[in-house]
Structures are given as C-alpha cells and as structure tokens.
Amino acid sequence: MTTLDLISFEPATGAELWRGTAGDVDAAIERARRAWPEWAAKPLATRVELVRRFANEVRKYHDALAELIARETGKPLWEARTEVESVVAKVDISVSAYAERTGQKKFDSALQGTAAVRHKPHGVLVVLGPYNFPAHLPNGHIVPALIAGNTVVFKPSEKTPAVGEFLVKCLHDAGVPPDVAQCLQGGIAEGQALVGHRDIDGVLFTGSAQAGIAINKRLATNPGKIVALEMGGNNPIVVVDTPKITDAATLVIQSAFTSAGQRCTAARRLIVKASMYDALVSEVKALADRIIFAEPFADPAPFMGPVIDNQSADQLSESFLYLLSNGGKAIKHMMRPDGALPFLSPGIIDVTGMKDRPDVELFGPLLQVIKVDDLDQAIAEANDTRFGLSASLIGGAPQDYNRFWANVRAGIVNWNRPTSGASSKAPFGGIGLSGNHRPSAFYAADYCAYPVASTEMDQPRATIGAGFRDERRKTPRVGDT
C-alpha cells in the first residue's frame, strides 16, 4: 500500500493543524498479534494499573488535550474540556464494568467438582473512531479492550488524526507497550484493509450507519470475529402537555444543537402535541436565535462551533433547501455567514405537511418539527424510522412516560431529559440502523471478552454407569459377546 499524505485542518480557521502519512496495516496487525500472548498473560491487576496510569497522564495534559480537541473538531473549549474529563472517568467505570460484567464465578458441584465461568480476550481488536468525540468515544472501546487482555490497533477518523495520536501517546507514556496499543493513521482504504484483515479478531466501530453496514457485510460470513457497531440515529424528542415551556424548549435546544448537532444522540425530530405547538416552537426559536456560534476560543464562549468541514456544511445546507422545496416550512433559516468556513446557524423547519420525509441522519444543527394530535400519534411518528438510538419524552404524567417507554423503539429512552448526554455507567447503544445489539459504555466489557464455562476437579475421578457388562458375572446374557 503506498503512503499517502494526511492533513488535518482546523474547521474554525482553515489552518493546517497536523500532517502525516498513512500507516502500514499489515505491519501493525503483525506487531499486535505478536504482542498479544504476553499482554493477555499479564495479571488483571497489572493491566488495570497501567490504564489507571493512563488516566493520570490524561489528567496531566488536560489543558493541552482539550485545546487540541477544540482546534481539531471546532467544538467550544468548554465542551472539549468535558470530553477530556470523560476520558479520565472512563477508566474507573471500565474497571468496575469488567468486574461486574465479566467477573469470575465458581459454583460448588459436590462430587462433580467445581463449575467455573471465566472470560478470555478475543485477541487483536481494531478500533475505528469518529471525529465528533475523537478522544472519548474511541477511548470507550480501547480501555475496556486493554483491561480484558486484547491488543488494539486504533485508526482515528482521518478528520481528527492529531487527537488520536495524542491519546495513544498517553497510553504509551503510562507504560502500555507500543505494540499493545497502536495508532494507525489512514483514510477509507486503511479502514477497509483493517476490517478485512485475516489476522484480526474483531472490529469495534463508532460512526455512520453507512460505514457500519459496510463493516457488517464485510464480516458477515466470519462469525468468529466480534463486531460491535455504534452508529447514529434519527432521534425523536416528543413534547406533550407541560406548563414549563421554557424548560421544555431548553431541553429541545440542548438535544438538537449541542456540539453543533454532531452527536449520534442529537434530536433530529421535534414531535410536538398540537396544543403545545405555538408556545413551544416560539420559545425554541427564541432560544435558537440567541445561540452564539463562533470559533472555539471566542469570548464570550460560544454554545456551538462550526461543523467538521466545508463538505459537511454544504451537505447540511443542501438538506435544508431540499426539505424547504419539498413541503417544509422554515421556522428558522439555516445560515452560513462565511462560505469559506463551515459555520452554520441552527436551522429549524416544520415538515408536518411533507410527504415521504427522508429517514436519514442529518448530522448537524438542523431540527425538523412535526405536529401531532396526541401521544399515540407521537409514538407512531417517533417510531417512523429505521434507526433506534435515543428518544425523549418531555412533559406528561408518569403513565404517559410508561406508555412511551414501553412502545418507543430505542436503546436510550429518557423522560424530561435531553436525548443526548447518556451516562457512562449505563449501556449505550441502539437498535435498527443504530447498532447491532452490542451496546458500549458500561456494557463494552461484554464484547471485549468472551465467557468460558469449565468443570474442574483437582484429581481425575469417574465411575461407569449403565450400559457396561459386569465383569464379575460368569453366565453370559443374550447380547453379550
């Protein structure tokens, strides 16, 4: 494979941030394969100690990593700082999760010895990371995988290579051997080569549904390789009866426009009861009009930065125009103040009257509004998608939430909370085009090791039951030979 120059640009300024070349996939996998037996044989306590040292390294470079994340993704500095804090917190959470989800168990079977359940690592795992949380989300795969005894080859998004490189350097500085955790830079070709490599034991992926489906197809005929897919969503936030209009509108804004809408759990569809429509939508628009979107280090601090690049900004602008020209009614026009940079103002559009609304993940600050008559219609609208990651109900009584929870199709279901910001102490994942029933976060331990059942005795002991001739008998029976 020929080397390829890779360049990362700051979305907010267009300035070059990082330059490098694509890595050698075969060489990286070979090193990981050679390193695996020794790493897997280390005591669990040793692996845990090393990832704890990694957390300390990240703490040491908190400000530098936060600044790098802000520059490479365009997200506000305050949000980049919360991402670094999530990286650190993930270590203790992963240690607890490994003990709870994959701990050893033994059962006394008396004369049959002892029955035991232990877990083994898979081997060499490929981690493919996204650009929206270039440290936190791949870290959510890497740390559980290392704790379990796997070696990791991590390919960051080609849009955020610098953060990926920094993250793995912290692992190495903490004492994790270089061949145990590797950062392999590259684009689509390197990602495909990693997924299709015969010497890997699994792929842990976070990204778009399109890429996740391609990975699933590539490995569908090889059930021996673990595949964990964490994909996006066309997430609904449903608002029914509530007197707290401002609070409801704030939750909508947080769900739709945090991270410039570049979260897999971001609300893409606001489904609102007709009796609440005028008051709520008016308040949502008023709040959206006040949103500051600017470069990450601006003063006052912005709520939103740019989207990741000009291509994404172009696609989102075109999507807004498509909805507008096919029956949508603009509530707040999406604006792009500088065509050379990917800054977008929040866009809000009513698509209630639009036929054949596209069921796609519009990954940016674009919110579609749908008016309904009651909760049952709202649930039907919420489920009118092939995705199933996150859903929230705002307002209503406990029995309304019970009905919503029971009937809405999503892996994350919230009440009077945003669609985004799920707890790392809980499973994180969805159904349909949002995932393949291998949730991450606290449940990442489940796909980083596999259970092994054993029955054990310290000495061999066995007896023969029915079906054998008694050697003490002298008179043969019919059938004896």
What SS3 class is residue 13?
A: coil
Query: What order of strands is seen across the sheet that includes strand 114-121?
Result: 105-108, 114-121, 449-456
CB contact at 8 A, 303 and 287: no
* Residue 468 Cα distances to 111, 188, 363, 472, angstroms: 22, 63, 70, 12
Beta bridge partners of 136: none
Catalytic residue at 230? Answer: yes
> Cα–Cα distance between 271 and 368 in angstroms, integer?
8
Catalytic residue at 264? Answer: yes
Q: Smallest Cα–Cα separation from 75: which of 344, 340, 338, 307?
A: 307
What SS3 class is residue 431?
A: coil
Q: Smallest Cα–Cα separation from 180: which of 106, 255, 123, 110?
A: 123
Backbone angles phi, psi at 333, to 5 degrees: -65, 140
The maximal CA–CA distance of the chain, rounded, in angstroms, is 103
CB contact at 8 A, 329 and 313: no
Q: Which of 79, 83, 230, 295 is catalytic?
A: 230
Q: Which of 264, 283, 381, 448 is catalytic?
A: 264
> Cα–Cα distance between 273 and 262 in angstroms, integer?
26
> Cα–Cα distance between 168 and 337 in angstroms, integer?
37
CB contact at 8 A, 168 and 153: no
**C-beta pairs of 246-252 under 8 Å, 24+ apart in sequence:** 246/283, 248/276, 248/280, 248/283, 248/394, 248/395, 249/280, 249/283, 249/284, 249/286, 249/287, 250/287, 251/392, 251/394, 251/416, 251/417, 251/418, 252/280, 252/284, 252/367, 252/394
> Cα–Cα distance between 115 and 453 in angstroms, integer?
7
Residues taking part in catalysis: 230, 264
